[in-house]
Chain A
Amino acid sequence: MALVVVDKLSYRYPDGRQALSEVSFVIRRGERIGLLGLNGAGKSTLLLCLAGVLKPEGRISVDGDRRRTLGLVFQDPNDQLFMTTVYDDVAFGPQNLGLTTDDVRSRVKQALQLVDAAGYEERLTHHLSFGEKKRVALATVLAMQPELLLLDEPTSNLDPKRRREFIKIIQNTRQAALIATHDLDLVRQVCDRVLILQAGRLVVEGGLALLDDLDLMRRMELI
């Protein structure tokens, strides 16, 4: 059963730049997909379209209420974390879902545990290190318990150790995920399938074996 069906998706920015052209694919429940592509290939744009922030041409059908089913984590954690304390930020989504205070508390606790940030509740957001911000940013979306995570370059700018830890955290989540990245290790360790975007077009789609096709990877300029 497909969770998300994307059919002939195109998007043009108001300044005239064509960021996506006729992209079509399917995401099944529980499936994890690596969305590969160079900078400017249109990965972020695709995630924003799926999340409903941008209004593209073409069709996106989601099995369920889109806002509750999809959870987007922005690339820059400073965009994702806008409240003053970690608790308030992680609680923001669940509160808007209309949960009781107790339920919100337990959601926050659980989400922070999932990202190795248990006990961070009272910390001030702007005093967190970059790695901590990245993890808490993921927690803000995990706390809403979406069925599909849309992660925009989750491991970018992390040092090797933090990056490994972050990959572990993503492995431990149970959701389906669409992960925009050019971190091939991340894709190898987390994903079941890859999509490769090139200048706004979906040019390759297939299993992890694609990553070992050096010829292809070189042509896609990903290695």
Chain B
Amino acid sequence: MVRPESRVIAIFCLILAVALDPALPWWRGALYLLYLAGLIRLFQAPLLRVCKRTLLVLPFLLVVLVFAAWSAASPERLFLLVQKALLSAAALAVLGVGTDFPSLLKGLHRLGLPSMLVMMLSFMYRYLDLLLGEAKRMEIARNQRYFGGGYLRQLRVLGNMIGSLFLRTYERGERIYQAMILRGYSAEAKPETVTYGLVDKIAVFSALGVLVFVVGTEHLWRLWS
């Protein structure tokens, strides 16, 4: 398996290359797609889910397009924008589909993301369900005893609910912190060391290759000549 940090680097390089590509001629579009297909294979990401994930970008793209149309951009530029957005979304989808969030966090930790930030993100992931569940249950509990009307009073009730949700979360945070201290927590958790295999090297160096190729032929070459 390719390590999550190698995946992050590879995808990041690819997106950077796409973003820095000034014109995106057809053959380079094909190159990106081909390369992405290679990464899908290497990361063992299910193709169907990658496609679905990619399409999630469409609504945002639509909004951007509407605004761009207003600003009288040329059709070519709009087309370029669409192509780049879809390619980047596909690249992110390959990362997102093939890597679960906890191991992605570990990868980022090994890439140097501060421990504190990693902890916070992982808590968010761990407790989001619980928080939403609690809010949901509270709402149900209210609806059981609420039959419409009295809107001003309802506003106060809502305020109370949010307040008590905050308190519960706060106290849970306190207990979790105690649980961490009891198990010897001391702010600076180091990531576990791991070894990297051939697939990691292939992913990272090929992506660097693509990036260097695009930047080299398009930017450096022009600068030089």
A residues with a Cβ closer than 8 A to B are 48, 51-53, 67, 71-72, 74, 76, 78-85, 88, 92-93, 95-97, 101, 124-126, 140-141, 144
Neighbouring B residues of A71 by C-beta, 8 Å: 182
Among B35-43, B49-57, B73-81, B170-178, the one that faces the other chain is B170-178
Q: Which of B120-128, B135-143, B196-204, B208-216 lies at the interface with chain A?
A: B120-128
Residue of A80, A126, A144 near B130 (CB, 8 A) is A126
Q: How far is the CA of A71 from the CA of B183 in the complex (A)?
A: 8
Q: How near does chain A come to B2, taking the closest CB pair, in angstroms?
A: 17
Asked if A79 and B182 sit within 8 Å, CB to CB, the answer is no
Residue of B whose beta carbon sits closest to that of A140:
B183
* Min C-beta distance of B107 to chain A, whole Å: 13
Do A84 and B185 touch across chains, with their CB atoms under 8 A apart?
A: no
Using known A-B contacts A79-B175, A79-B176, A84-B122, determine if residue A92 contacts B183 with beta carbons closer than 8 Å.
yes
Max chain A C-beta neighbours (<10 A), residue from B126, B129, B182: B182
Q: Give Cα distance in the complex from A84 to B130, angstroms.
A: 13
**B residues near A85, Cβ cutoff 8 Å:** 102
Name the residue of chain B whose CB is nearest to the CB of A144.
Answer: B183
Q: How far is the CA of A101 from the CA of B122 in the complex (A)?
A: 21
* Sample of 7 further A-B pairs with CB below 8 A, known A83-B122, A92-B180, A124-B100: A51-B182, A71-B182, A72-B179, A74-B175, A95-B189, A101-B193, A141-B183
Residues of A within 8 A of B176 (CB): 79, 82
- Nearest chain-A residue to B100 (Cβ)? A124
Contact indicator A84/B182 (Cβ below 8 Å):
no
Query: Which range contains the number of B residues in contact with the other chain?
Result: 20 to 34
Contact, CB under 8 Å: A82 / B129: no
Q: A125 contacts which chain B residues (CB < 8 A)?
A: 126
Closest residue on chain A to residue B101 by CB atoms: A84
In the complex, the answer to whether B184 meets A80 with C-beta atoms within 8 Å is no
Question: Does B186 sit at the interface, judged by CB under 8 A?
Answer: yes
Given contacts A53-B182, A101-B193, whether A83 and B126 have CB atoms under 8 Å apart is yes
A78 CB contacts on chain B under 8 angstroms? 127, 130, 172
Q: Is B105 an interface residue (CB 8 A)?
A: yes
B:105-163 near A, CB below 8 Å:
105, 122-123, 125-127, 129-130
CB atoms of A124 and B102 under 8 A apart: yes
Complex CA distance for A74 and B175, rounded to whole angstroms:
9
Task: Verify B182–A82 contact, CB threshold 8 A.
Answer: no
Residue with the greatest number of chain A CB neighbours at <10 A, chosen from B172, B175, B180, B193: B175
Nearest CB in chain A: distance from B75 CB, A = 46
Complex-state Cα separation, A85 to B189, whole angstroms: 16
In the complex, A172 Cα to B185 Cα: how many Å?
28
Residues of B near A80 (CB, < 8 A) are: 179
Chain A residues lying within 8 Å of B183, measured Cβ to Cβ, are 92-93, 96, 140-141, 144
What's the nearest-Cβ distance from chain B to residue A169, in Å?
20
- Min distance, Cβ B35 to any Cβ of chain A, angstroms: 30
